[in-house]
Amino acid sequence: MAEAPLKIAVVGHTNTGKTSLLRTLTRDPSFGQVADAPGTTRHVEGVRLAAGHDAIVEWYDTPGMEDSIALLEYLDRLDEPGARLDGPARVRRLLDSPEARGRFEQEARVLAKLLDCDAALYVIDARDPVLGKHRDELSLLAACGRPLLPVLNFVQAPAHRAQAWRDAMARLGLHAVLEFDTVAPPLDGEQRLYGRLGMLLHSHSATLERIADALGQQRSQRRIDACRVAADLLIDAAALRLTVANDADALAAATETLREQVRLREQAAAQALLALYNFRPGDYASDALPLSGERWNMDLFHPHALKDMGVRLGMGAAAGAMAGGAVDLAVGGLSFGAGMLIGAAAGGLWQGVGQLGQRIAGRLRGHRELSVDDAVLRLLALRQRQLIQALERRGHAAREPLRLDQPADDAWRKAPLPDALAEARSRPAWSALNAHHDDDDRRKQKVAELAQRLAQGMETGAPTE
């Protein structure tokens, strides 16, 4: 027989971010309604978190409490002389009164749901001062006899009063306080929340610990999957080559074709990352590029975009081509000649001979090749890493489009590019942007290796070797 789900109410004063918290905990940006106006949530709304076919936790979003001072006074007036009712009994008597269906209807919904739950999160806007109405709210909620976990929201705001709230909670005997900003939650915020609930609900501690462990594993797997998306983009870009006749008009047209292919490929990767983290396309500032804003509103191939990220172009013809322009075969390291072909044949590299032979023959016919400069690959990697890290730290209640800062590490700017990208340079078939794309086992292996190294770099800031 399946274990009954744990029921937890999310309660608090109006407009403190209760619905926002549930959006982040459920990774559902469409749950409920979020607005700056008070009293946005008017009814109790529920959502289930499941493992397999079994619901483990049922969360309940409740209306904001607005008139706790008057309600507490009314509750005192209901007390009969000589009656010694405990807190839950007093609350139930309140719920049976006419005022529970009139003046205090909204607060009555909150208290009725809390009586039906195992525990509650008391959500606090840490920017607000501690007032008497908050203490009265807590008195009413405590009367329900259910464990309360105060959750300090908006602690990333510059003028928050988190310490004052901690002091106030301690004076009320609530010492297990959690900071959880719904717009920018800590990476392990969900795990810490379930861990604190486990301290308050000993009989459910095993279930809550299981949830916390599962969330940690899911977070790690999401990062690996995200880095695989980024690695696949980088392999596609590194292996991309266009062969074009050696005249100015053809080179200009092919250069723009190459750039547009890479731009669109980067956009596709960004969309894949947004979907992976369960965000909407509008969660970043829409533009021709997947990342925008003042810092990002520049062309991927423009020297200013590279300069802004601290990435330098290479030397010689590649630099003169402005990161993605015409790079002839000699610059690409492909001026092999007959001696190289003979040596490759002697080594048994017949497949490589065929490919190199075609490319050298093209050069002899006056053709040139276009490829993506190393500097652009560095910029792509930096932007993908930043996007992944920003999505990991973004709450599903955030409403402002994503804005990114310049990364602090120099790893992808200056260190040698990973071997996987160097190998992709010599394998045009590895790019899904080229004709005759071949996602062979070797490519899959290199994508996996590059993804793993990108994931490790997220923790250390180090480049891949």
- Summarised one tens digit per residue, pLDDT across range 210-249 is 888 888 899 999 999 999 999 999 999 999 988 888 788 8
Confidence of residue 53 (pLDDT cuts 50, 70, 90): low
Structure tokens at 437: 């794309």
Indicate whether 24 and 167 sit together in one domain. Answer: yes
**Which distant-in-sequence residues (6+ apart) come within 8 Å of 339 by Cβ?**
none
Indicate whether 176 and 251 sit together in one domain. Answer: no
Does some domain include residue 263? yes
Q: Which residues pair with 58 in a beta bridge?
A: 7, 48
| pTM of the full structure | 0.77
Domain span at residue 233 reads 221-324+366-455
Does some domain include residue 34? no
Indicate whether 307 and 451 sit together in one domain. Answer: yes
Indicate whether 386 and 260 sit together in one domain. Answer: yes
Indicate whether 163 and 53 sit together in one domain. Answer: yes
Mean pLDDT of 83-108: 90
Does some domain include residue 91? yes
Indicate whether 67 and 119 sit together in one domain. Answer: yes
Does some domain include residue 347? no
Q: How many domains in the chain?
A: 2
Average pLDDT along the chain: 78
**CATH number of the domain where residue 23 is located:** 3.40.50.300
Does some domain include residue 36? no
Give the span between the Cα atoms of 350 and 243, in whole angstroms: 22
Residues 162-220: tens digit of each pLDDT: 999 999 999 989 999 999 999 889 889 999 999 999 999 998 998 899 888 888 899 99
Indicate whether 235 and 176 sit together in one domain. Answer: no
Q: Is residue 431's pLDDT more than 90?
A: yes
**Which distant-in-sequence residues (6+ apart) come within 8 Å of 254 by Cβ?**
242, 244, 370
Does some domain include residue 462? no
Is 261 within 8 Å of 235 (Cβ atoms)? no
Say what the pLDDT of residue 420 is: 94
Cα dihedral sign, 386-388-392-398: positive
Mean pLDDT of 56-85: 86
Q: Is residue 383's pLDDT more than 90?
A: no
Q: Which residues pair with 153 in a beta bridge?
A: 125
Indicate whether 142 and 245 sit together in one domain. Answer: no
Indicate whether 296 and 395 sit together in one domain. Answer: yes
Residues 140-153: tens digit of each pLDDT: 999 999 999 999 99
Give the sheet arrangement for strand 178-179, strand by strand.
Answer: 45-51, 54-61, 6-12, 119-125, 148-153, 178-179
Does some domain include residue 12? yes
Does some domain include residue 357? no
Could you count the other beta carbons within 10 Å of the beta carbon of residue 189? 21
Give the span between the Cα atoms of 242 and 230, in whole angstroms: 22
Is 29 within 8 Å of 79 (Cβ atoms)? no
Say what the pLDDT of residue 312 is: 61
Percent of the chain with pLDDT over 70: 74
Mean pLDDT of 365-394: 84
Say what the pLDDT of residue 47 is: 83
Indicate whether 12 and 77 sit together in one domain. Answer: yes
Mean pLDDT of 367-372: 80
Confidence of residue 36 (pLDDT cuts 50, 70, 90): very low
Q: Is residue 361's pLDDT more than 50?
A: no
107-121: string of b/e by CB count within 10 Å (b at 16+)? Answer: bbbbbbbbbebbbbb
Cα dihedral sign, 255-310-380-284: negative
Confidence of residue 285 (pLDDT cuts 50, 70, 90): low
Residues 261-284: tens digit of each pLDDT: 998 999 899 999 999 999 988 787
Burial label for 2, CB within 10 Å (0-12, 13-18, 19+), is exposed
Indicate whether 115 and 230 sit together in one domain. Answer: no
- Identity at 411, one-letter amino acid code: A
- Identity at 147, one-letter amino acid code: P
- Choosing from 130, 161, 183, the residue where a domain stops is 183
Residues 331-346: tens digit of each pLDDT: 333 333 333 333 333 3
Say what the pLDDT of residue 288 is: 38
Q: Is residue 325's pLDDT more than 60?
A: no
Bigger pLDDT: 426 vs 333: 426
Indicate whether 236 and 370 sit together in one domain. Answer: yes
Burial label for 368, CB within 10 Å (0-12, 13-18, 19+), is buried
Say what the pLDDT of residue 68 is: 87
